[in-house]
Structure 1
Amino acid sequence: MKFRSLGAGLILGAALAVPAGAQSLDLGGTPGAAPQPIQITASQGIQWQQENQVVIAMGNAKAVRGDVTVTADQLIAHYRKKATAAADAKAAPGAATDILNQGNTSLYEIEASGHVHIYTATDNAWADHAVYSMDDAVLVLTGQHLKLTTPHDTITARDSVEYYAAKRQAVARGNALIVADDGRSIAADTLIGDLAPAVSSPAPAAPGADALAQAGQLQKVEAIGHVVIRTTEDTATGDTGVYLPQQGRARLGGDVHIIQGPNEMSGSDALVDMKTGIATLLAGPGGQVAGTITPGSAPQK
């Protein structure tokens, strides 16, 4: 989900899955590689505020770094002078954006506002507002019509879509929904996705690392509040849930209902195999499983 693949990336990342060949939405660059310049253009001009240490691009603003492009009504690049730059304050850039590509400054945050679109050749993210912190390797998308797409998944949310590179975690908040290209989906108030690293390592990704590019597929989604899982034939609901995308399995807890056509069963716990469509409903301690079954209503295979 960074300014180079939400997900997860985003994301959450992402659509909470990053298949082989996907490009990360991360403007932070690849750790250990030579720094890539960032190119900024705008139709209404670029303003350099030296006292505030920001570069503002206004009107059809566009920033390109490596494979990642960010477009918005306005872009604000925040930078700071490095410690070694204090003794060389006379070095003036030839243009406002040159300050971002000099060795005596460090770009630490990019803010995009209005009709934000972040994309690579494989992934896209849309929002009204986006902030990417290079210090913390955190991307936060907010506004209306939040959407993140990868070659196999689509994520939408009402409140925010966030990606935390150090934890390899994507979070969608508010009517969060993940829809896979085969039609399976999971919705909840909040969805938290954990991405598996491409290379097995016990150490977490360092801040600033392009963790989405390093990450493998989404390995787990935790769903909180008003959980709804849909396959092509069944709908399962609960208060909480855990979904394992690579296995195609989910576990629901709380007030659980499984619906298939006119048939409905309820309990306190359920195991759902989203690949086979088989659901196992369990009763809680001292409780029981209840249901309504209509004869001859099973779907034709």
Structure 2
Amino acid sequence: MTEARRARHNGNWLPAVALLLPLAFAQPALAQDIVEDPAAAVPAAPTGGGMDFGDDTQPFELGADQGIEWRSKEKTYTARGNAVARQGNSSIAADTLVFYTSGEEGSFDRIVATGNVKVTSGSSVGYGDTGEYDATQKLLLLTGSNLKIVSDNDTVTARDRIEYWTDRNAITAIGNAMVVRQDTRINGDTATLYFADDPEGNSKLSQIQADGKVKVLNNGQTIYSKHFAYNPDTDIALMTGNVRIIDGGNEYTGQRAEIDNKRKISRILGGGERVHTFIKPKSSSSNTAQ
């Protein structure tokens, strides 16, 4: 089968899926892998009720080059070959998609994506080798090499995994996490981006947080701390825990620092400890008579 086969949910999936599955049965290599009981009735496909990162009021669409199979005993749907599931402004694409259904309400409880995973949610696009969505936890987990999420203004990368918590509107990068935002680069053991809806209902970044061994490069400054938080609306950054700021030849150390980029005001506090500032003297060589 060379053409992409696609099924749509418009209130009733059964006719579309019933047409798809006999085509998959015709593939000799797949015949033994499709259903345990070929005579079993083909149920309605999942409506996407568990796809909380999408709009479940919108039609759910599933397509794949090599067909879609239903396993009655396991209650799973498997889409193979450039598989893509779409709903609203969200989608999951992978070499293989497996949907684990509840079997009662026609919704799915879990999605497993394998190979060349690409997840789209609004203007954000995530990449990984494998992906798994758990509808109970409302958690989308990306793992593998070259983990990355790209949005309009930010790029997030991680070594170990990227978690997208749909009910919290938060993305967490774990393991050598890095957030690149215009001229600013934020590194940490973990980094979390929080989102909120604006008055028009569009999701926008509300805060960036980094923890662990934090290093921030920003407009010629290098900042080290244990914790870092930045609010893009106020343009204020807050650092706590062994703060060290290097700005040219000058260096500032303390336990807490605040940088207000709009008002051009910076503060560093000791948190009960002594604050230290080192300011490099101006070179006197330019004043030396030749």
**8 A contact 1:42–1:59 mirrored in 2:** yes
Q: Could you tell me which residue of structure 1 aligns to residue 243 of structure 2?
A: 256
Per-residue deviation, 1:172: 1.5
Q: Could you tell me which residue of structure 2 aligns to residue 101 of structure 1?
A: none
Distance 1:67 1:219 in 2: 20
- Tell me whether 1:51 sits opposite 2:52 in the alignment: no
Distance 1:121 1:195 in 2: 12
Structure 1 residues 283 and 214, CA gap change in structure 2 (3 angstroms): same
Per-residue deviation, 1:237: 0.9
- Tell me whether 1:72 sits opposite 2:59 in the alignment: no
The within-5 A match list for 1:286-301 is 286-295=273-282
Structure 1 residues 146 and 275, CA gap change in structure 2 (3 angstroms): farther
Per-residue deviation, 1:222: 2.8
Distance 1:197 1:123 in 2: 14
Per-residue deviation, 1:282: 2.2
Q: Could you tell me which residue of structure 2 aligns to residue 183 of structure 1?
A: 183
Structure number with the bigger relative contact order (C-alpha 8 A, sep ≥ 6) is 1
Structure 1 residues 54 and 175, CA gap change in structure 2 (3 angstroms): same
**8 A contact 1:193–1:220 mirrored in 2:** yes
Per-residue deviation, 1:197: 3.6
Per-residue deviation, 1:225: 0.6
- Unmatched runs of 5 consecutive residues or more in structure 1: 1-25, 83-103, 200-212, 297-301
Could you tell me the percent identity over the aligned residues?
A: 28
Per-residue deviation, 1:177: 1.5
The superposition leaves residues 18-42 of structure 1 with CA deviations (integer Å, 9 ceiling, x where unpaired) of xxxxxxxx944425x3x51322213
Could you tell me which amino acid in structure 2 is paired with residue 187 of structure 1? N
Could you tell me which amino acid in structure 2 is paired with residue 222 of structure 1? Q
Structure 1 residues 27 and 137, CA gap change in structure 2 (3 angstroms): same
The within-5 A match list for 1:97-116 is 105-116=106-117
Could you tell me which amino acid in structure 1 is paired with residue 60 of structure 2? P
Q: Could you tell me which residue of structure 1 aligns to residue 213 of structure 2?
A: 226
Distance 2:122 2:271 in 1: 48
Give the TM-score normalised by structure 1: 0.69
The within-5 A match list for 1:185-200 is 185-198=185-198
Q: Could you tell me which residue of structure 2 aligns to residue 30 of structure 1?
A: 55
The superposition leaves residues 76-107 of structure 1 with CA deviations (integer Å, 9 ceiling, x where unpaired) of 1111221xxxxxxxxxxxxxxxxxxxxx5222
The within-5 A match list for 1:28-177 is 28=52, 29-30=54-55, 33=57, 35-43=58-66, 45-82=67-104, 105-119=106-120, 122-177=123-178
Q: CA RMSD in A?
A: 2.6
Distance 1:124 1:111 in 2: 17
**8 A contact 1:282–1:289 mirrored in 2:** no
Which structure has the bigger radius of gyration?
Answer: 2
**8 A contact 1:231–1:274 mirrored in 2:** no
**8 A contact 2:60–2:85 mirrored in 1:** no
Structure 1 residues 282 and 295, CA gap change in structure 2 (3 angstroms): farther
Could you tell me which amino acid in structure 2 is paired with residue 268 of structure 1? Q
The within-5 A match list for 1:256-295 is 256-274=243-261, 278-295=265-282
**8 A contact 1:238–1:257 mirrored in 2:** yes
**8 A contact 2:94–2:114 mirrored in 1:** yes
Once the two structures are overlaid, the 10-residue window that deviates more, 49-58 or 120-129, is 120-129
**8 A contact 1:42–1:62 mirrored in 2:** no
- Unmatched runs of 5 consecutive residues or more in structure 2: 1-49, 284-290
- Tell me whether 1:241 sits opposite 2:228 in the alignment: yes
Structure 1 residues 284 and 68, CA gap change in structure 2 (3 angstroms): closer
Q: Could you tell me which residue of structure 2 aligns to residue 95 of structure 1?
A: none
